[in-house]
Chains A and B, each alone.
Chain A
């Protein structure tokens, strides 16, 4: 079993839809949670960085962490064609040293 599970998609939605992206994890040592956006042939760019359970909002993006269920989500409101990218979840935990583990990424297509 992978430490972080993420549905690879692809996920296709119409412009203006609310998008929900999710990851589950198995290691309770994970303390910090991140979402990255990666456009084709580019490096990942950090969208959201959270520590505690609950919600964090930044513009059209909301990150949600539920440590009791070991589940994190990223919501995108009013999705735009420019949101079409691969979204990677990532987690940092201390297991004999801090380590960042990535999900495999979900490909999102937003149709105009």
Chain B
């Protein structure tokens, strides 16, 4: 079955530590995205990538970094510079930019 796999499902870190969230897709989609979801705020775009070795900042990129070395993989690093990192992080992909997004099942990050 094709889909998007995010791991781990839950992640706990101490303040000041960087942490990397994994996202892998086998849908053969070119474009991949990272969203952050907070209660009552909907989905906010962090970064997106339309092709390998290229990515662009979304609306809330500060404190985050990404890489896109392979078509299937788009890891997100939450750095210590992110002021409020506790959130639910969703990875998504699309075949084209006017196609609907397909989502993974998310990673819940808690930083204390």
Contact = CB atoms under 8 A, between A and B. Distances in A.
Co-complex (A, B): yes
A32 B42 contact: no
B61 interface: no
A100 B96 CA distance: 12
Given A31-B98, A34-B100, A46-B100, A102 B43 contact: yes
A49 B100 contact: yes
A4 to B, nearest CB: 8
Contact of A32 (B98, B105, B106, B108): B98
Contacts of A90: 100-101
Contacts of B100: 32, 34, 46, 49, 90, 92
B42 A43 contact: no
Contact of B102 (A31, A46, A102): A46
A45 interface: yes
Nearest to A34: B100
Interface residues of A, number: 24
Nearest to B44: A102
A41 B101 contact: no
A44 B103 contact: yes
A102 B104 contact: no
Contacts of A105: 42
A32 B60 CA distance: 24
22 contacts: A6-B42, A32-B98, A32-B100, A41-B88, A41-B105, A41-B106, A42-B106, A43-B4, A43-B6, A43-B90, A43-B103, A43-B104, A43-B105, A44-B103, A49-B100, A88-B43, A90-B101, A92-B97, A92-B100, A98-B97, A100-B101, A104-B41
Nearest 3 interchain pairs by C-beta: A43-B103, A98-B97, A104-B42
